[in-house]
Amino acid sequence: MYARVTTVQVHPDKVEETTSIYRDSVVPAAKAQQGFRAAYMLVDPATGKGMSITVWETVADLEANEASGFYQQQLAKFAPLFTAPPTRETYQVSVKE
């Protein structure tokens, strides 16, 4: 399995709105994507720093998700809330319990 980690910075007073968009829009849409396995959102409400972690069955599934434009469409939902450009990294999941 593979994980895409997107690190973001949002206005601290927009953390609740960011969480709602992720929970109510991004996650349901991601569940329909080939190879999608899980999504996690971590956030520090005091600073507005957060991470989205999505888990994919194969690296090909993850890459296809990005190539289709899906990832960029979902990220665009948060654009007005960002205080800095997001960063993205990909990792192989080496341990899962």
Which domain does 57 fall in, by range? 2-92
d(CA 27, CA 42): 14
Q: What percent of the chain has pLDDT over 90?
A: 98
Q: What pTM does this model have?
A: 0.91
Instruction: Count up the domains in the chain and report the number.
Output: 1
CATH number at residue 31: 3.30.70.100
DSSP one-letter code for 25: I
Tell me the pairing of strands 2-10 and 36-44. Answer: unpaired
Phi and psi, residue 44, nearest 5° = -100, 105
- Mean pLDDT, the chain, rounded, equals 95
User: In this predicted structure, what is the pLDDT of residue 49?
Assistant: 97
Average pLDDT of the residues in 65-80:
94
User: In this predicted structure, what is the pLDDT of residue 25?
Assistant: 96
**97 lies in a domain?**
no
Q: How far is CA 92 from CA 1, 5, 43, 55, 72, in A?
A: 6, 11, 22, 9, 21
Compute how many other C-beta atoms are within 10 angstroms of the C-beta atom of residue 33: 17
Average pLDDT of the residues in 44-72:
95
**42 lies in a domain?**
yes
